[in-house]
Amino acid sequence: VYNKEFWKTLKEKHEDIPNGYDYRGYKMRSRGEVIIAQVLDSLGLEYKYEPMIVIDDDVYYPDFAVWLPEFGRLFFIEFMGRLDDKTYIYKNTPKLMSYLNSGMVLNRDLLVFCGMQNTMVSVEEVVEDIVSLINKYCRMYSDSTVTV
């Protein structure tokens, strides 16, 4: 269950990433991650960058965990930025499968944004998907529909 207790246990990696992108004291791996962080900040959402989670004794670092105190839950975001690179795909597919096999549900517990070497996730797409997910939570946790 991705609740407040789980949120409190999440520790960020804070690894020095060579050739990374600086944003708010974080060294991020890609421009796509910076775009996502900027959107999260613009929406006033609290997040942790590359928090450690353990699934079946394997350690993973999803790009973001986003806390939604209004609902007492969090969700994860992964940015898959090199879908035109077969090695990248082979390396990251097991991670995504582990997430899903652990019970994470796409577009409820996990948002995945994609890009390629020469294309980037758009700000509009990130905003739309995050706001859509929050609206879904509003419907799940409320008798009436609330629009964010």
Note the pLDDT tens digit of each residue in 61-119: 999 999 999 999 999 999 998 888 899 999 999 999 999 999 999 999 999 998 887 78
pLDDT at 148 > cutoff 60: no
Segment 26-52 mean pLDDT: 94
- pLDDT reported for residue 143: 59
Query: Residue 87: what are its φ and ψ, rounded to 5°?
Result: -60, -45
Among the residues of 43-141, which ranges form H helices? Answer: 86-101, 123-141
Q: For residues 66 and 47, is the Cβ–Cβ distance under 8 A?
A: yes
| pLDDT category of residue 18 using cuts at 50, 70 and 90 | confident
pTM: 0.90
Q: What's the pLDDT at 71?
A: 93
- What's the pLDDT at 115? 86
The long-range contacts involving 105-112, CB below 8 angstroms and separated by at least 24 positions, are 107/132, 107/133, 107/136, 108/75, 108/133, 108/136, 109/2, 109/75, 109/76, 110/62, 110/75, 110/76, 110/77, 110/78, 111/75, 111/76, 111/77, 111/78, 112/77, 112/78, 112/79, 112/80
CA separation for the pair 99, 114 (Å, rounded): 16
Question: How large is the average pLDDT for residues 14-28?
Answer: 85
Residue 109 or residue 140, greater confidence? 109
pLDDT in the model for residue 51: 96
Amino acid present at 95: K
Average pLDDT value over all residues in the chain: 90
